[in-house]
Structure 1
Amino acid sequence: MADEQTEKAERESRPSPIDVHVGSRIRLRRTLLGMSQERLGEALGLTFQQVQKYERGVNRVGASRLFDLARVLDVPISFFFDDMPEPLAREYGSGAVRRAVGFAEPQEGFDDDTLHRRETLELVRAYYRITDPAVRKRVFDLIKSLAPIDSPG
């Protein structure tokens, strides 16, 4: 009986995989914007330590806070649930449910670590520093033209 209680207490003290995923998406978007934890905290009326806890999944993000995060980080709320690892998505709902609430479908051959690499972050930041929309579109088209063409499925 004591072992069951200990095991339950340990499970409850660990962050939920969903909270960890949402936290990683908060960190990703904040980093892509070049925003510090301090600046995000100020915009939300929080300390940077509270932002850190959200990003690590230690603290659960409530609905109103998620709404505020989406507004400050300029993303739809569904962004925080996009690219959820398939095993986690399967455990918490079917594909139909995921699509209905705005979850992105997993992309084949796309490694989530790509979004966390320094090169990716620098590329995205440089891209958004291009102020002329026409030039930015041409850069986007150039990059797409250099990528391998997907073979028809």
Structure 2
Amino acid sequence: MAHPVDVHVGRKLKQIRTLRRFSQTDVAQRLGLSFQQIQKYEIGSNRIAASRLFELAQIFDISPAYFFDGLYDDTNGGDKQADPGMEIVSALAAIQDETVKSRIVTFIEDISGLTVARQG
């Protein structure tokens, strides 16, 4: 059974990867891994070493602390509520048409005033 911290960190990896519009293959190639390894990280079945978290933070231009944001909310023993932000990220990731996905991201950027970093 996966440790709750590993599951949380994996969810945060999936969230930032999806927001930045990277595929699992894109991330895997930058790390010299297989996309299957990224899948295992994202579901929490494989732990992510500190050095790997640091590399991921560099890839996504974020602080390594990002992966632990909200951790206490996930592990405090209370009723686990679905994270609406993560549900939106998952729904966006499920959209196959890249043109539609791009239009949705542009819309979100327009109304939020924030810019989502794009893969480059």
Q: Normalising by structure 2, what TM-score?
A: 0.70
**Residues 57, 64 of structure 2: 8 Å contact kept:** yes
Distance 1:87 1:41, change over 3 A: closer
Partner SS state of residue 21, structure 2:
coil
RMSD (CA atoms): 3.1
CA distance in 2, matches of 1:44, 1:126: 28
1:116 deviates by 2.6
| 1:112 counterpart (77, 80, 83) | 83
Long gaps (5+) in structure 2:
96-100, 115-120
Deviation by residue 1:90-145 (Cα, 9 ceiling, x = unmatched): 47xxxxxxxxxxxxxxxxxx9623333136x95873268x7xxxxx6x8629xxxx
CA distance in 1, matches of 2:74, 2:12: 17
Q: Where does structure 1 differ by over 6 angstroms across 4 or more consecutive aligned residues? A: none
1:73 deviates by 1.5
Q: How many matched pairs?
A: 102
CA distance in 1, matches of 2:52, 2:11: 15
| 1:46 counterpart (33, 58, 81) | 33
**Does the alignment pair 1:35 with 2:8?**
no
**Does the alignment pair 1:84 with 2:75?**
no
**Residues 6, 47 of structure 2: 8 Å contact kept:** yes
- Identify the structure with bigger relative contact order (alpha carbons < 8 Å, sequence gap 6+): 2
Long gaps (5+) in structure 1:
1-13, 92-109, 131-135, 142-153
**Equivalent AA in structure 2 for residue 114 of structure 1:** G
The answer for the alignment partner of 2:113 in structure 1 is 140
Q: Normalising by structure 1, what TM-score?
A: 0.56
Distance 1:114 1:139, change over 3 A: closer
**Residues 8, 74 of structure 2: 8 Å contact kept:** no
1:79 deviates by 0.5
Q: Give the structure with higher Rg (CA).
A: 1
Distance 1:112 1:124, change over 3 A: farther
Distance 1:114 1:76, change over 3 A: same
The answer for the alignment partner of 1:62 in structure 2 is 49
Partner SS state of residue 25, structure 1:
helix
